Chain A
């Protein structure tokens, strides 16, 4: 594998999950074989992205065109540091989630598991293809494919509620992407004559700065996956999906594809200098700032654990968007790193939520008092994830917040700095009480959770891995830090 050219590794990373999805369907009647296919392809993909990351660090910049769709517009893939960072996160976490999902799906007796694994693999393929996209057209294509491939996962339960959520999901994601993003892409194409991602952007000097703000807004709101208010409702709706989906797709792959797209547009379509000089983001930052605070406040009111985590994700995504909108070096480093740091922390929280559901059949936070003593491992992991989200040392989440804060200092956005700090306090308020009550409060009605045990082993392995990663990333953030700095400082 190592001897293959990087271009081939890119193709493999995209095609392998695609192939896996076909094989999974064929192995419908043999559940064990089906899960082996998932695990092997996830393992291979993880190895592929790690190999690629090493090569990118060594200075390679692989890229290639697949073919031309219409004159001047190609399907093309290439790797730059930001995409590599994203692929590294999604690719490695797929393996972890697959291990987790097998325990969850069997432990929870879910139906239609073949469709679940097949759609999951498809979604990962689209995510990796999005990460490696070489131009805006390819990215848009993958963005839409990701929306569609996750629809069967969101509506997995097949209930009336799932159907309704599916409508909200598709309505908002397709609506914003066709209504705004496609329009923005078409305008970009007719102004710039290209859609390639280029260092320093393709619009500077071609687009009247007075219109830059409008076009940028079309992009930012057109990326519904970034869940900026008022286009955030799809994310809580998507929580009706099985927990592995919420964990990997709606805390990592799908939502991060959103913020990743915004970062890409900022860096390689507009160029950060053009954003700051034209003032394109001057009023947009307030949408992100309001989303951060408002989503945190809503999170506090949610008793359903997954709903609370969903609103927490909405809030955290806007950190990244804010970092992109401010568009100074430090904020871009922070935003890029937050893709990774938030991913590891939030997936831990979702994993824990799923473990609680499978082991104790509890969905609501108010019912979890005292549960910590029955499931100490799960709740310790939950605490670690919470602390990393809050951004305390010694957890990885500290670094991304650190650089985001530095970026706000650098651009002298004092109000935004205050927003960041208030939000951290709100994080404490809506996350820490969950584990505190689980460990220290007495259960309602004096119930003793004697019969409740920890979740199946495969789920615990996954939880252990991601929570450990939260700690390791504090001491060794280099894999993500290097790529983030590289992406933000290249000129």
Chain B
């Protein structure tokens, strides 16, 4: 009996954990509760993915109200994969968080941080699970509001500006989204995604539907930081506490990309998109984002900011798959969504370990640390190679499918952009590696002579992600297999 409710439990558990964490005394208890919850959630998510990986769909009616009137959780391979990413990253970030948070954040805020973290997890998982477009908006707001709070906890004063900037942009995005949802509801009288997908085709000619589509797309483009709506992201990632950066970089934008996939391919359909300028616009913005932001990344002086710009460029890759509008393209998007979470998670964790030991993520403060912290350095090398897309890493599999999707469409410009983007990635990744690898000035070397390797509690989650980057570079059953399964359900016409 309980089995039927597990999909709901996935969202309810962290939701319940949030107030508990908030009222617990500052210290290790809030951390322990959050960690425990995140581990149970990851177990649930894995169970859920196992159940849907063969192609069935779990439909859960909230409160027993039948859809389309009640809220429905509709889990297929795509949701399940995203839920697994989100909960998996949370389960790895929390053990890592203990030491990092003690170092970076005043103790009286610890309980609040873990409470906000749990709320953010609730929101992101909710977005992944729900099949109701208004419910999605609610979860979107839960995750957004909590992430504004999380970012503002950063040690530097700029964290406040960064959080504020994100708040403004995020609110505009959410408003646009809800306007779009409202228009759709006005036209169709339903908020259930599956139901919408059925009712929309006969209204495709209607201008209101086009307007709704535009609002929803722009709203989420803000949320996922699609170039040129990305300006909030570099500041937020740079000034947020390390743990928050890791979690948001690896999950928040991924969830937004998932919503984009769901909207473009399920709620609307690609036949609809083709009659709008959206697909060409996506491709254009992706191309500009990939090239422009990668260039920008090369010239950054702070390693966190460098990786943040790289993230904006990588979002371009994910959206490319959507813009190409093919089965292969959507597969590539889902695969890259998963793989990019692994690589950015690993990289931000490694940078966080450097920050933990020397208190700065600026490149000028990091020379020669590779020798002092060999495991952290190795993690950056492997994570970086995955980001570049060297064969034998998860990033290569992403590139492989992306380029194949572009070749299939005979779109040689996109092929070229993806490959040039990889070369630019070599440049910015190597910028970090060179700094860590080559000897520091004598002065710095003397100062760093006592710097030790990061604590085990940070190294273990980091290396789980690093090894996952290698593992998923060779075994793609979970990533590609699930993605192909998911795309079959996302794009009904593919069958």
Q: Which residues of A contact B (CB under 8 A)?
A: 67, 69-71, 75, 137, 140-141, 144-145, 148, 155, 158, 163, 166-167, 170-171, 174-175, 178-179, 182-183, 186-187, 189-190
Using known A-B contacts A67-B475, A141-B392, A145-B392, determine if residue A183 contacts B430 with beta carbons closer than 8 Å.
Answer: no
A163 and B438 contact, CB distance less than 8 A = yes
Using known A-B contacts A179-B423, A183-B415, determine if residue A170 contacts B430 with beta carbons closer than 8 Å.
Answer: yes
Q: How far is the CA of A171 from the CA of B437 in the complex (A)?
A: 17
Q: How far is the CA of A141 from the CA of B385 in the complex (A)?
A: 13
A69 and B476 contact, CB distance less than 8 A = yes
B403 and A148 contact, CB distance less than 8 A = no
Q: How many A-B residue pairs have CB under 8 A?
A: 66
Q: Closest B-chain residue to A175, C-beta based?
A: B423
Q: Closest A-chain residue to B433, C-beta based?
A: A151
Known: A170-B426, A174-B390. 14 other contacts (CB 8 A): A69-B473, A69-B474, A71-B480, A144-B390, A155-B438, A166-B434, A167-B430, A174-B388, A178-B389, A179-B419, A179-B420, A179-B423, A183-B403, A186-B400
Chain B residues with CB under 8 Å of A167's CB are 430, 434
Chain B residues with CB under 8 Å of A189's CB are 404
B474 and A187 contact, CB distance less than 8 A = no
Chain B residues with CB under 8 Å of A163's CB are 434, 438
Chain B 465-495 interface 0/1 with A at a Cβ cutoff of 8 Å (1 = within): 0000000011110001000000000000000
Which of B400, B430, B437 has a CB less than 8 Å from the CB of A70? B400
Chain B residues with CB under 8 Å of A170's CB are 426, 430
CB-contacts of B412-428 with A (<8 A) = 415, 419-420, 422-423, 426
Q: Is B407 an interface residue (CB 8 A)?
A: yes
CB-contacts of B168-198 with A (<8 A) = none
Which of B391, B403, B423, B438 has a CB less than 8 Å from the CB of A141? B391
Chain B 416-452 interface 0/1 with A at a Cβ cutoff of 8 Å (1 = within): 0001101100100010001001110000000000000
Q: Closest A-chain residue to B415, C-beta based?
A: A183
B391 and A148 contact, CB distance less than 8 A = no
The listed residue with most B CB atoms (<10 A of its CB), out of A70, A163, A183, is A70
30 A–B contacts from the bound complex (CB under 8 Å): A69-B397, A69-B474, A70-B400, A75-B474, A137-B391, A144-B390, A144-B391, A148-B390, A158-B438, A158-B439, A163-B438, A166-B434, A167-B430, A170-B430, A174-B388, A174-B390, A174-B423, A174-B426, A175-B426, A178-B422, A178-B423, A179-B420, A182-B403, A183-B403, A183-B415, A186-B400, A186-B403, A186-B404, A186-B407, A190-B408
B360 to chain A, nearest CB (A): 22
Chain A residues with CB under 8 Å of B392's CB are 141, 144-145
Chain B residues with CB under 8 Å of A69's CB are 397, 473-476
Chain B 311-348 interface 0/1 with A at a Cβ cutoff of 8 Å (1 = within): 00000000000000000000000000000000000000
B365 to chain A, nearest CB (A): 19
Chain A residues with CB under 8 Å of B480's CB are 70-71
Q: Closest A-chain residue to B397, C-beta based?
A: A70
Classify the interface of chain A: helix, strand, loop or mixed. Answer: helix
B385 and A148 contact, CB distance less than 8 A = yes
Q: Which residues of B contact A (CB under 8 A)?
A: 385, 388-392, 397, 399-400, 403-404, 407-408, 415, 419-420, 422-423, 426, 430, 434, 437-439, 473-476, 480
Chain B residues with CB under 8 Å of A187's CB are 407
Q: How far is the CA of A144 from the CA of B422 in the complex (A)?
A: 14
Those 4 A-B pairs whose CB atoms lie nearest each other, nearest first: A141-B391, A178-B422, A186-B403, A190-B407
B41 to chain A, nearest CB (A): 29
A355 to chain B, nearest CB (A): 29
Chain B residues with CB under 8 Å of A178's CB are 388-389, 419, 422-423, 426
Chain B residues with CB under 8 Å of A71's CB are 480
Q: Closest B-chain residue to A174, C-beta based?
A: B426
A193 to chain B, nearest CB (A): 12
Q: How far is the CA of A166 from the CA of B430 in the complex (A)?
A: 10
Q: How far is the CA of A174 from the CA of B433 in the complex (A)?
A: 15
Q: How far is the CA of A182 from the CA of B420 in the complex (A)?
A: 12
Q: Closest B-chain residue to A190, C-beta based?
A: B407
Using known A-B contacts A141-B392, A144-B390, determine if residue A67 contacts B474 with beta carbons closer than 8 Å.
Answer: yes
Chain A residues with CB under 8 Å of B415's CB are 183
Chain B residues with CB under 8 Å of A166's CB are 434
Chain B residues with CB under 8 Å of A174's CB are 388, 390, 423, 426
The listed residue with most A CB atoms (<10 A of its CB), out of B391, B408, B474, B480, is B391
A70 and B419 contact, CB distance less than 8 A = no
Q: How far is the CA of A148 from the CA of B389 in the complex (A)?
A: 13
A273 to chain B, nearest CB (A): 26
Chain B residues with CB under 8 Å of A158's CB are 438-439
Chain A residues with CB under 8 Å of B403's CB are 182-183, 186
Q: How far is the CA of A167 from the CA of B474 in the complex (A)?
A: 28
Chain A residues with CB under 8 Å of B434's CB are 163, 166-167
A183 and B419 contact, CB distance less than 8 A = yes
The listed residue with most A CB atoms (<10 A of its CB), out of B385, B397, B400, B439, is B400
B51 to chain A, nearest CB (A): 23
Q: How far is the CA of A155 from the CA of B434 in the complex (A)?
A: 10
Q: Closest A-chain residue to B422, C-beta based?
A: A178
Chain A residues with CB under 8 Å of B389's CB are 178
Chain B residues with CB under 8 Å of A186's CB are 400, 403-404, 407
Chain B residues with CB under 8 Å of A190's CB are 404, 407-408
Q: How far is the CA of A174 from the CA of B430 in the complex (A)?
A: 12
Chain A residues with CB under 8 Å of B399's CB are 182
Q: How far is the CA of A362 from the CA of B407 in the complex (A)?
A: 53
The listed residue with most B CB atoms (<10 A of its CB), out of A144, A171, A178, is A178
Q: How far is the CA of A179 from the CA of B403 in the complex (A)?
A: 12
Chain B residues with CB under 8 Å of A183's CB are 403, 415, 419
Q: How far is the CA of A174 from the CA of B407 in the complex (A)?
A: 21
Chain A residues with CB under 8 Å of B475's CB are 67, 69
Chain A residues with CB under 8 Å of B385's CB are 148
